[in-house]
A and B are shown apart, each in its own frame.
Chain A
Amino acid sequence: NAGVTQTPKFRILKIGQSMTLQCTQDMNHNYMYWYRQDPGMGLKLIYYSVGAGITDKGEVPNGYNVSRSTTEDFPLRLELAAPSQTSVYFCASRSESSYNSPLHFGNGTRLTVT
C-alpha cells in the first residue's frame, strides 16, 4: 500500500512565486489534513477536508488555498510565496470509521522560500 503520497519531496521557491504541493491517498479516507512544521516546533493545521467538495480553515490558513475535487487528492496551493512559508509540509488522512482513528502521514515536503 502506498498510503499517503506527497510530491515533491523538496522545493526551493523565490519570493512571489506560486506552487502546488500534491497529496494523494489510496486508503479511501474521507478526512484529509495539511499541516506545516517549522524547525523545532509542532504541527500547525493549515486546512482540512471531511470529504470531496468540502474544505475548512485550520489554525494558519493565510497564504494558502486548497481544493478537494476527489476523495484521493488534496492539493495545497501557495500563492505569492513568502519567506515565512519556509517549512516542512505534511499531508495526512484518516478514516471516519471511528473518532479515534489515527492520522496517516505522508513523508512531507520541505519547502524553502528565498
Chain B
Amino acid sequence: QKEVEQNSGPLSVPEGAIASLNCTYSDRGSQSFFWYRQYSGKSPELIMFIYSNGDKEDGRFTAQLNKASQYVSLLIRDSQPSDSATYLCAVKGGDKIIFGKGTRLHILP
C-alpha cells in the first residue's frame, strides 16, 4: 500500500515566523507532489505543486522536494493568522493521487 506520512500536529508558530511542514512518501515512482490547504468545514484548495528536486517558491510559500530521501516539505514565511489551517500533502503516482493525514497549523498572534 502506497503511503504518505505527515505529522498531524498541531504545529504552533508565532505570527511572522517561518512554518515548516513535512511529508514523506513510500512510492519511489511518484511523479508529482502537491500541497493543499484546508480550512475547517471547507474543501481542500491547492497551494502549490512540485515535481523536480530542489526548491520552488511562490510568494510566501516554498516547496522543497528530495526524491532520493522521498521527502517533500512546505515552508511558509511571515506566517499570518489566516495561515491557520490543515495542510495536506498529496502524491501522484500513475493516475492515483494519495493524501497524507494532514498537519494542523496554528499561527499564534
A35 touches B49 (CB 8 A): no
Within the assembled complex, what's the spacing in Å between the Cα atoms of A36 and B46?
Answer: 18
Within the assembled complex, what's the spacing in Å between the Cα atoms of A44 and B8?
Answer: 15
Residue of B51, B95, B97 touching A103 (CB-CB under 8 A): B97
Q: A99-B31, A105-B44 are in contact. Are A58 and B101 (CB under 8 A)?
A: no
Q: A41-B101, A42-B101, A100-B49 are in contact. Are A48 and B43 (CB under 8 A)?
A: no
| B32 adjacent to chain A (CB < 8 Å) | yes
Query: Which A residues between 1 and 59 are near B, CB-CB below 8 angstroms?
Result: 31, 33, 35, 40-45, 48, 50, 56, 58-59
Question: Min CB distance, B17 to chain A, in Å?
Answer: 25
Q: Which residues of B are interface residues toward A (Cβ below 8 A)?
A: 1, 4, 6, 8, 31-32, 34, 36, 43-46, 49, 51, 88, 90, 92, 95-102
Q: Chain A interface residue count: which class? A: 20 to 34
A102 touches B46 (CB 8 A): yes
